[in-house]
Amino acid sequence: MKRPAICLFIWVALLGWAAPGYAKKGGGKAAAPAADDSAVADDSAKNTDKTTNAGAAGGSDDKTAGDTGKADAQGAAGKEAGAPSESLEGEEGQPGKVEEEVGGAPKGARPTSTGSWSDIVVVPRKAFLKGGRLEFQPFTGITINDSLIRHYVLGVDLNYFLTDVFWIGLEGQYFIHQLTNQEELVGSEYNRAPTLNKYLYGGALNFGYVPIYGKFALFNRSILSWEIWASAGVGVTFTKVIPRDPANDALAFQNTDITPNVGIGSRFFLLNWLSVNFALRDYLVPDKFEPLNDGAARGITTSAQAKAQAQSELVQNVMFYVGVGIYLPTKFQYKTPR
């Protein structure tokens, strides 16, 4: 009888010593078995006849409660030394703050973002808009397809953009001619003077369309927008005959030629109101030249008679242009959302 009582006393003492430490770790299940065991101890003290049975029952409960306490302690230790826990807190559309804990101590915090998905734009807007704006473009150019005479041109384009890709424009030109070394060599080697006309000035009404546009990185520092355009139009060109014999300058006459043209070019946008333009245009000029010095041309005394007997020929005047486009107004606004 003494042996069960001694075992019960030792068991209660051990349980009382371990319960405070387990409570600090968050375990609350060990308190109930302790209370039940205390009640069993009181009952065994009052009823000595049932002490043996109570001791046996208490011994089995000791093993069960010990296993339960051991499992809870292992669970608590695993929770403390286990994988890092993540806590996600935040409003809708905003990522929460994530914290990692290892061994009960915070390891660090991931950066918290305050952006939303609406700030991510897959297709950005065009960097330059031309619709509803006027382009004032002074330009200069040179002929590239005539080896006997060269023409330099100074001109201005006024283009109004109906949309961002369509425009209508007016073009004005003033020409300066120069005879090349080839013209002199032809006269000296073949003993012949070539038949030539010089361009004076001209103008045209043009229509343009932009089929291709894009952008590229400039030295990995800035983005440069560009486009390729095509145009077609019709205008007028004023030309004048260059007499083969300088003494017949009085017989030189002028022509007024209806001139269709086609062109292709490119724009590079530097600022919101400034661009650099390159173009290649082909002017189809149905021109009249000085009559040949044969029997039909003899007896010509006036420029009108010379023009009446002049020979006609379709001439291609291919010119290369470089210009600077200035856009008015200098600023633009987007009319559609992103």
Q: Which domain holds residue 13?
A: 2-78
In whole angstroms, give the CA distance from residue 139 to residue 136: 10
Q: Give the mean model confidence (pLDDT) for residues 294-300.
A: 61
pLDDT tens column, 107-138: 555 555 666 766 666 666 777 899 999 999 99
What is the value of pTM for the model shown? 0.62
Q: How confident is the model at residue 65 (pLDDT cuts 50, 70, 90)?
A: very low
**Whether residues 142 and 246 fall in one domain:** yes
Domain closes at, from 59, 78, 97: 78
Q: Give the mean model confidence (pLDDT) for residues 175-180.
A: 94
Residue closest to 200 by CA, chosen among 247, 249, 151: 151
State the pLDDT at residue 205.
98
Domain closes at, from 47, 78, 109: 78
Q: Give the mean model confidence (pLDDT) for residues 263-282.
A: 96
Mean pLDDT (the chain) is: 76
In a domain, 223, yes or no: yes
Residue 230 has pLDDT above 60, yes or no: yes
**Whether residues 45 and 180 fall in one domain:** no
CATH number for the domain that contains residue 189: 2.40.160.20
Number of domains composing the chain: 2
In whole angstroms, give the CA distance from residue 276 to residue 126: 18
Peptide bond connecting 329 to the previous residue in cis, omega within 30 degrees of 0: yes
In a domain, 333, yes or no: no
**Whether residues 40 and 176 fall in one domain:** no
**Whether residues 236 and 322 fall in one domain:** yes
For the residues of 58-71, what is the DSSP string, one character each? HHHHHHHHHHHHHH
Domain closes at, from 62, 78, 94: 78
In a domain, 338, yes or no: no
**Whether residues 73 and 167 fall in one domain:** no
Q: Give the mean model confidence (pLDDT) for residues 27-32.
A: 45
In whole angstroms, give the CA distance from residue 336 to residue 338: 7
In a domain, 111, yes or no: no
In a domain, 187, yes or no: yes
Question: Which tokens go with 120?
Answer: 């991510």
DSSP classification of residue 28: -
**Whether residues 153 and 220 fall in one domain:** yes
Q: Give the mean model confidence (pLDDT) for residues 178-199.
A: 86
Quote the percentage of the chain above a pLDDT of 70. Answer: 63
**Whether residues 306 and 202 fall in one domain:** yes
Q: Which residue has the higher pLDDT, 248 or 51?
A: 248
